[in-house]
Structure 1
C-alpha cells in the first residue's frame, strides 16, 4: 500500500483579534505510510471523518504560559480539535481497527495517536461504535452534531444546571449556533417560553420558522434592554449565556429572583487579547440581590453521570421523532478548515459548523 495524502493545518502565529487565514494558519502537504508506520505500545492511527468547529478553539490559540481549561496550541504543530474518526491501525486493545471514536484529533486527514506525547489530544477517546447501528437512518454528521459536544453541552447544562420548568421563560444568546439551537428546542419540549437572539435576519428566520421559537431578534438592529422588556414582560428565569460582556450586564437587569444562568461561553470576549480591553460587567451585585445562580461548566462535567445517560436516551428519541432539528454548516475538505473556522467564529454560519474530511 503506497503512502497516502495526509495534509494538515499548522498553527503559525498567535492572533490578536480575529485570526487571519494566511497569517496564523498554514496548509501543509504531507503523506503518511500507514502500512510501514511502526506503532508504540497503545498507539493507534485514525482516519479522520468529521472535525468539529467550535468557539472554544479560539481560546487555545494563545500564549503558552496563559491558563485556560485546555492547553494552548503549539506553534509549528498541527492544530487539534474534537472530531469523529475511524481506527485503521492499532496497538491498543481499547481501540480496535474499525472502531468509531470521538475525541481530540488533528486538523489533518490522518492522526497518529501517541501515548507518550503530552498533547491536547491525550484526552481519552470515547468509543462510539453504537452509532453504526443508527446508520443510515441518522447520518453520521447529524450524530456528530446532535450526540457529541453540542448535544451533551446543551442537554446537560440546561437540564442539570438550568432546571427548566414549564411556563418559565428562557433567553438564549447566540441562539442559532451549534449549542443554542439545541437548547432552544429542548426548552420548548420542556414547555418553556423560548426567546433567542442572533446576528442576522436569516438566522432569526431560522429560529422562528424552523425551530418555532416564541420570539427571536437580530441583536445588531435593536436596543437589547428595550427588546427584553417587550419580549420577556415577566422576566427571565433561565439565561443561557454564550456571549458575555455587555449582553450579560443587560440580561442581569431582567433576571427574576432565583434565575439560573448556565455559562456555556463568552464569545464576545474571545478575540480581545488585552485583558484591559475586556468588558467589565458593572452590576454583578444583582447576582446576590436576586439570588441568581451563575454556573460555569464544561461538557466533560457530565461524562459518566446520570445526565449523560438521560441525554443519550432522550436525544435519540427526539431526533428520530423529528422533535429535534440540527442544522449543519458543512465545510468540505481539509483545505477549507480555516475558512470554516473563521466563518463560525465571526457568525457567518448557521447551526453546527463541521468539516467533512472523508466518507464513511
Structure 2
C-alpha cells in the first residue's frame, strides 16, 4: 500500500481524569484512506484543511461521562471544529470542490461524513478557509455571545478580560473597544500584553509578574469593574470579585486555571462570592452551542465580518502544521506556549 493510500489519524489513547494531560493521551496512526466508492447515500468524502484546537477539549480527555461535552472514545479519532474541501459526495446539495464547515471534524487527513452535518461555505472560500476556524470560529462566536447577551456592554463602562491574547479574549477586547468601553486586558507574558495593547486595550498587565492580583486589578481599573469576561477562574476570578462595581456582570466562559488540578483539595475555593450579593452582580456561564442557527449568529457574522473586512479587527493565530503535531498543539494550550488562536493546518 503506497503512502497515497494511507491517511493520518489522531486517536484518544488514554484518559487523564486529573492533572495535566500528556502526549500519552494521544496516539498518531496510519490507516487506509477512504474512497469515493465507499460512500453511501448522503455521505461526503472530505479532505480536512484546518482543525480548531480549544481548551474545552481537556474535558473530553478526562473520561468523565457527566461532563457538558461527551468524552472522546478510546482508540477512536478525537474531533473538534474543522474546515474541509469536498472530494466526492452522494448528496445533491454538496459537490466536489466545495468548502465546508465540519462541526465535529475527526482528526484525520480524510473523512467520510454525513452531508446533513456540514455547512457549505461561500464560493471562493479556499483562500481564506482558515478564517472559519479562527476569526469566524467557535471561540470568536463565544466572545460575541458572552459579551452581548450576558455582558450587555454600555459605552463608558470598564471591562476586564482575562486571557486577553487568546482565541476568545482577542475578540472580546476589540468588540468591547468598538462599543466605547474602557478595556483592561490580562495575559501571561510581556509579548502577549503588548499584543493586547496593540488591539485596543486601554490598560494591560502580565498576571505572572503583577504581584497581588487584587491590587493589580485595582491599579489598572481604579474605577472598578463593570464587566468581567472570565477565561481563567480560580484566584484571579476571586480577585476580580473584590473589585466589581454595583450591577457588575461576570461572564463565565472558561476556567483554564482549574482544568488540570490533581484533586478537589487542590481546586481554588472562591472567598469573595458575597460581593455578588452586595453588588447585585450577575454571574452567568456561557455555552455557545444553542446560539448556532439563531439570529445572534447572523449578527455576529455581520458585525465581525464588517470589522474584519475593513481592517479594524486583528486576530493572532498560532498555527501548527501537520496532523502528527496536533497533540502537542493541544498541550501547548495549558502551559502558556500557545499565543493566539490555536489551529492545525492538516
TM-score for the superposition, normalised by structure 1:
0.89
Q: Residue 206 of structure 2 corresponds to which residue in structure 1?
A: 218
Are 2:155 and 1:166 aligned? Answer: yes
In structure 1, the partner of 2:327 is 338
Aligned to 1:18: 20
Equivalent residues of 1:162, 1:262 under 8 A apart: yes
The answer as to whether partners of 1:8 and 1:78 remain within 8 angstroms in 2 is yes
Name 2:33's counterpart in structure 1: 32
Q: Which residue of 2 aligns with 1:59?
A: 59
Quote the residue 1:125 is aligned against. Answer: 117
Report if the CA contact (8 A) 1:195-1:216 is conserved. Answer: yes
User: Do the aligned residues in 2 keep the contact of 1:101 with 1:125 (CA within 8 Å)?
Assistant: no
Alpha-carbon offset, residue 89 of structure 1: 2.5
| Deviation (angstroms), 1:7 | 0.5
Give the Å deviation of 1:133. 4.2
| Equivalent position SS for 1:29 | strand
Distance 1:273 1:45 in 2: 41
Change (3 A) 1:328 1:185: same
| Helix, strand or coil at the partner of 2:231 | coil
Q: Give the TM-score normalised by the residue count of structure 2.
A: 0.93
Q: Secondary structure at the match of 1:177?
A: coil
Give the secondary structure class of the aligned counterpart of 2:196.
helix
Tell me the distance in 1 between the aligned counterparts of 2:91 and 2:251.
38
1:7 is paired with a residue of what secondary structure? Answer: strand
2:44 is aligned to 44
- Pick from 210, 221, 225 the counterpart of residue 236 of structure 1: 225
Task: State the 1:13 CA deviation.
Answer: 1.1
Moved more, 184-193 or 286-295: 286-295
8 A contact 1:99–1:127 mirrored in 2: no
Could you tell me how far 1:125 is from its partner in structure 2? 3.1
User: Which residue number corresponds to residue 257 of structure 1?
Assistant: 246
2:241 aligns to what SS in structure 1?
helix
Question: What CA deviation, in whole Å up to 9, does each residue of 1:137-189 have, x standing for no partner?
Answer: xx222343111212211111111211111111000011110110110011111
Q: How large is the RMSD of aligned CA atoms in angstroms? A: 2.0
Matches within 5 A, 1:118-157: 125-130=117-122, 132-133=123-124, 136=127, 139-157=128-146
| 2-structure distance, mates of 1:275, 1:248 | 18
Which residue among 178, 182, 206 is the counterpart of 2:167? 178
CA 1:33/1:159 → structure 2, altered by over 3 Å: closer, same or farther? closer
Return the offset for 1:58: 0.5
Rounded to whole Å, the distance in 2 between the matches of 1:134 and 1:46 is 15
Question: 2: CA distance between counterparts of 1:27 and 1:340?
Answer: 13
Separation in structure 1 between the aligned mates of residue 125 and residue 112 of structure 2, nearest angstrom: 27
Conserved in 2, the CA contact under 8 Å of 1:177 and 1:352? yes
Which range moves more in the overlay, 44-53 or 294-303? 294-303
User: 3-state DSSP class of the match of 2:208?
Assistant: helix
Number of residue pairs matched by the alignment: 342
Which residues of 2 match residues 254-293 of structure 1 at below 5 A? 254-293=243-282
Find out whether 1:350 has 2:339 as its counterpart: yes
Alpha-carbon contact 1:14-1:24 (below 8 Å) kept: yes
Q: Give the unaligned 5+ runs of structure 2.
A: none
- The SS at the match of 1:324 is coil
Question: Is residue 164–residue 173 contact of structure 2 (8 Å, CA) maintained in 1?
Answer: yes
Unpaired runs of 5+ in structure 1?
Answer: 116-123
Q: Distance in 2 between matches of 1:228 and 1:34?
A: 56
